[in-house]
Amino acid sequence: MTSDINQEHKEKMKAQQAEHRKKMQEKRKPDTGLLMINTGDGKGKSTAAFGTIIRALGWDWKVGVVQFIKGNWQTGEKNFFKKYPDLVDFEVMGDGFTWDTQDREKDMEAARKAWDRACEMMNSDDYQLVVMDELNIVLRNDYLPVEEVIEKLAERHEKTNVIITGRTAPQALMDAADLVTEMTKIKHPFDVGIKASRGMDY
């Protein structure tokens, strides 16, 4: 009886393997860098981007990060990468969350400065991955024109992959992307009064 189950399982797996190999033969390697969006109300958008950074570094890629919003807020990722400045060019460009600054002009100036730096990174041939952390928040608040962002992304260096994070990604930006992942919140400790914690949330 056990041998019959094992044989049945083996045949099933062989069929799945053949189907998978056939699908893979139909695929091709990307000709250019990909544009990826992590958005949605759930936790994990920036976390997923930093996980991809680790993967890229494992293949000796040059990585650039521009944080648009978090400003001088101390985060685990910033603490980590300042210990290893040769691994990643990590630029913290924002002045903090918009509800803290309460100054639209200042926020727009900070957003423009950060965007200019991100464009420098993705237009050079130095970086294989550029992460634009919380750019979607900047776009939601109309600190930068969405049309300009999409145009500049399309003009980036052909080998540069880009990850953009933040809630409420504009539909036009998602339409232009190669990969869009929406983080869906099912439960969150904040909803029952638990604050964000070091090492887990920032």
On whether residue 127 sits in a domain, the answer given is yes
On whether residue 18 sits in a domain, the answer given is no
On whether residue 187 sits in a domain, the answer given is yes
On whether residue 159 sits in a domain, the answer given is yes
| pLDDT of 176 | 98
Strands (E), 32-182: 35-39, 63-67, 88-92, 129-133, 161-165, 179-182
User: How would you class 164 by CB atoms within 10 Å of its CB: exposed for 0-12, middle for 13-18, buried for 19 or more?
Assistant: buried
Give the separation between CA 107 and CA 113, rounded to whole angstroms: 10
| Length of the chain counted residue by residue | 202
Q: pLDDT tens digit string along 136-172?
A: 999 999 999 999 999 999 999 999 999 999 999 999 9
Domain that holds residue 148: 31-192
Say which range, 56-65, 134-143, 189-198, has the weakest mean pLDDT. Answer: 189-198
| pLDDT of 152 | 98
- Note the pTM of the prediction, 2 decimals: 0.87
| Confidence band for 10, pLDDT divided at 50, 70 and 90 | confident
Asked if residue 136 lies in contact with residue 68, where contact means CB atoms within 8 angstroms, the answer is no
On whether residue 102 sits in a domain, the answer given is yes
On whether residue 7 sits in a domain, the answer given is no
User: In Å, how far are 47, 55, 123, 143 from 60, measured between CA atoms?
Assistant: 20, 9, 19, 34
Q: pLDDT tens digit string along 76-129?
A: 999 999 888 888 999 988 665 444 557 889 989 999 999 999 999 999 999 999
More confident residue, 15 or 143: 143
On whether residue 24 sits in a domain, the answer given is no
End-to-end CA distance of the chain: 52
On whether residue 124 sits in a domain, the answer given is yes
Q: Where are the alpha helices (DSSP H) in 59-97?
A: 76-81
Give the separation between CA 60 and CA 104, rounded to whole angstroms: 39
Asked if residue 40 lies in contact with residue 182, where contact means CB atoms within 8 angstroms, the answer is yes
| pLDDT of 100 | 57
Structural domains of the chain, count: 1
Q: pLDDT tens digit string along 49-61?
A: 999 999 999 999 9
CATH for 140: 3.40.50.300
| pLDDT of 95 | 61
Residue 69 scores a pLDDT above 90: no
| pLDDT of 74 | 82
